[in-house]
Amino acid sequence: MSQQIVTRFAPSPTGYLHIGGARTALFNWLYARGRGGKFLLRIEDTDRERSTPEATAAILQGLRWLGLDWDGEAVSQFARKDRHAEVAHQMLTRGTAYKCFSTPEEIAAFRADQEAKGASYAVFQSPWRDADPATHPDAPYAIRMKAPRTGETVIEDAVQGRVTFRNDQLDDMIVLRSDGTPTYMLAVVVDDHDMGVTHVIRGDDHLNNAARQTMVYQAMGWKIPVWAHIPLIHGPDGKKLSKRHGATAVGDYQAQGYPAAGMRNYLTRLGWAHGDAELFNSAQAMEMFDLSGIGRSPARLDFKKLESTCGWHIARGEDAALLQEVEGYLAAAGRPALTGAQRDLLSRAMYCVKDRAKTFPELLEKAHFALISRPIVADEAAAKALDTVSRGILSELTPRLRNASWTKEALEPILNEMAAAHGIGFGKLAAPLRTALAGRTATPSVFDMMLVIGRDETILRLEDAAA
RNA sequence: GGCCCGUUCGUCUAUCGGUUAGGACACCAGGUUUUCAACCUGGGAAGAGGGGUUCGACUCCCCUACGGGCUGCCA
């Protein structure tokens, strides 16, 4: 009898949504959504010093942009602190935890001492572990997990395989601080249990933690979830991702004009594979995604491949959706919004620009001709195509266009005849036309441009150029 | 220092003891073309090093090197 799958993404709101975190969220989302399960969101804000509402907002915003929708309301871990404390005290009653009166100073001194002795240092062993309650001072205390000192704790990880930890390497971690607040190690377990999380898919920086958390599950007699620790993402140089690699926040990617669908596809393939599948939409990804396809070594970010993947998605995007995403990009990048007329023109131009752009700035550049208004200012290279001879040809062409029917089929012979009449190839005619219509040398086909801006505008631009 | 994880073309990866080690991006060369792209064809390009196990290892084991993670009253 299989239960419903429940996954979660549990970021700590201490900064923007990191690209690595976004991938973790994506994997959880794909796994749950592909199996009719639930994908939950929990904000791990128990660190009151570093957590900010701005960071929480940025994380939600990043997830929304990527289209990773979660079920129900985002849970604040901090809001559940009473429940965490309750569990800590249950552990006390069960004898799987104990009150520790060692002060942070004493612990720091212990560590300093160990370090001074050089070489390897032992895990901190609290003197209060087996103390008689009668000897307990009337002082603040932390609650520590009474972890087994011998034997091993085994993690069955869906990605890493079976990983064994010696218990004497693990200390009695604090589950409830002396100020009564829970630590991460306790909070995650309690929340994951209470929220019914069945699969914990997270960065492998938590692999060691899984052993300690397993002890908490065992201490409480709770069912241990399926672990899946995925390798972190590295920068193009193979080093840990950091600011100097450029974009690390997902917001940066939106501001650089990458489409969300392309990001999802690229990020899915980063560290995960399903045979030769490279390009796919989210529905297909959900179909294929599984934990066994996740690799065990860290993957590097490759912006060229990201771009290529994004180009594929833009080319296949639906015009209206692309237009909407372009507007989101403009806002994120702090660029001026489209006017109503530009929206309209861009929408009409979409068919001939979307299959040649990898990002939205590129798409906008290709659509430049549709977004500008007269007089068209030619850039240096384009201006060269407009000499006396070509101006003459343009002015000769204008009247022919007035009565032509405005389709590529009708326009093509007119332009071809014009070129033939002057003994030049079509390319020689297209160049000045391009300058007149767009002021650029790199544009969509001249026919497409004429079709998009329409007869009147075409004629006006040609007249301007011929003048 | 200790513990844990990893290492196939430049990059992402397939392979789950027997393959001419496959695909994708990137790169190079052609083609197509009205420009830029897109697109099509072809090409070069890989099992970190050393020991084992085996009839046979990229695949299994050990060692080394390198990379990463954890080692907090952070998450």
Count of C-beta atoms within a 10 Å radius of residue A107: 15
pLDDT above 90 covers what percent of chain A?
76
Q: Which residue is nearest to nucleotide B15 (CA to C1')?
A: A275
Q: Residue A125 has what pLDDT?
A: 86
Q: Residue A466 has what pLDDT?
A: 84
ipTM: 0.94
Beta bridge partners of A142: A100
- pLDDT of A128 above 50: yes
Catalytic residue among A99, A239, A243, A358: A243
Cis peptide before A225 (omega within 30 of 0): no
CA of A271 to C1' of B16 (A): 17
Taking the C1' atom of every nucleotide in all shown strands and the CA of A166, the nearest one is B3
Q: Which residue do the tokens 């050089």 mark?
A: A118
Mean pLDDT of A229-258: 85
Q: Which residue is nearest to nucleotide B37 (CA to C1')?
A: A356
pLDDT above 70 covers what percent of chain A?
97
Taking the C1' atom of every nucleotide in all shown strands and the CA of A269, the nearest one is B12
Q: Residue A194 has what pLDDT?
A: 97
Q: Which residue do the tokens 């000499």 mark?
A: A387
Report the alpha-carbon angle A175-A176-A177, nearest 5.
120
Mean pLDDT of A63-75: 97
Q: Residue A461 has what pLDDT?
A: 95
- pLDDT of A76 above 60: yes
pLDDT tens digits, A284-326: 999 999 999 999 999 999 999 999 999 999 999 999 999 999 9
Q: Residue A111 has what pLDDT?
A: 81
The DSSP element (H or E) to which A188 belongs, if any, is helix A184-194
Q: Residue A1 has what pLDDT?
A: 42
Q: Residue A78 has what pLDDT?
A: 93
The nucleotides of chain B lying under 7 Å from a protein CB are: 1-8, 10-14, 22-27, 34-39, 67-75
CA of A261 to C1' of B69 (A): 31
- pLDDT of A433 above 70: yes
Picking from A14, A8, A35, the residue whose alpha carbon sits closest to that of residue A290 is: A35
**Lowest-pLDDT choice from A95-109, A191-205, A230-244, A385-399:** A230-244
**DSSP notation for A218-268:** HHHTPPPPEEEEEPPEE-TTSSBP-GGGS--BHHHHHHTT--HHHHHHHHH
Picking from A286, A254, A191, A335, the residue whose alpha carbon sits closest to that of residue A61 is: A254
A212 exposure class (CB count in 10 Å sphere: 0-12, 13-18, 19+): buried
Please, where are the H alpha helices in A256-387?
260-269, 282-288, 303-316, 319-333, 340-353, 360-366, 368-371, 380-383
CA of A297 to C1' of B7 (A): 8
Residue A403 or A335, more confident: A335
Long-range Cβ contact pairs of A326-330 (< 8 A, separation 24 or more):
A326/A360, A326/A363, A326/A364, A328/A65, A328/A254, A329/A254, A329/A255, A329/A257, A329/A360, A329/A361, A330/A360
Residue A108 or A32, more confident: A32
Count of C-beta atoms within a 10 Å radius of residue A432: 25
Q: Residue A2 has what pLDDT?
A: 65
Cα–Cα distance list, A436 to A126, A370, A404 (Å): 82, 13, 19
Distance (Å, whole) CA A444 – CA A396: 23
Taking the C1' atom of every nucleotide in all shown strands and the CA of A240, the nearest one is B68
Q: Residue A116 has what pLDDT?
A: 73
Taking the C1' atom of every nucleotide in all shown strands and the CA of A299, the nearest one is B12
pLDDT tens digits, A19-30: 999 999 999 999
Mean pLDDT of A335-347: 96
CA of A183 to C1' of B70 (A): 17
Distance (Å, whole) CA A230 – CA A27: 9
Tell me the pairing of strands A174-176 and A199-203: unpaired
Q: What are phi and psi of A163, to 5 degrees?
A: -120, 125
Taking the C1' atom of every nucleotide in all shown strands and the CA of A430, the nearest one is B34
Distance (Å, whole) CA A281 – CA A262: 9
Count of C-beta atoms within a 10 Å radius of residue A119: 6
Q: Residue A237 has what pLDDT?
A: 79
CA of A300 to C1' of B48 (A): 18
Distance (Å, whole) CA A141 – CA A148: 21
- pLDDT of A406 above 70: yes
Taking the C1' atom of every nucleotide in all shown strands and the CA of A357, the nearest one is B37
- For residue A122, name the pLDDT band (cuts at 50, 70, 90): low
Q: Residue A120 has what pLDDT?
A: 55
The DSSP element (H or E) to which A153 belongs, if any, is strand A152-157
CA of A80 to C1' of B59 (A): 48
CA of A256 to C1' of B10 (A): 25
pLDDT tens digits, A252-294: 999 999 999 999 999 999 999 999 999 999 999 999 999 999 9
Tell me the pairing of strands A38-43 and A6-9: parallel
Beta bridge partners of A299: A233
Cα–Cα distance list, A32 to A35, A37, A40, A285, A398 (Å): 5, 4, 9, 12, 60
Instruction: Report the predicted TM-score, pTM, of the whole model to 2 decimal places.
Output: 0.94
Q: Which residue do the tokens 């607040």 mark?
A: A181
Q: Which residue is nearest to nucleotide B70 (CA to C1')?
A: A208
Q: Residue A121 has what pLDDT?
A: 58
A428 is catalytic: no
Beta bridge partners of A249: A18
CA of A290 to C1' of B56 (A): 33
Count of C-beta atoms within a 10 Å radius of residue A15: 16
Mean pLDDT over all residues of chain A? 92
Torsion angle of the four alpha carbons A311, A313, A316, A321, in this order, in degrees rounded to the nearest 10: -110
Q: Which residue is nearest to nucleotide B6 (CA to C1')?
A: A297
Q: Residue A160 has what pLDDT?
A: 92
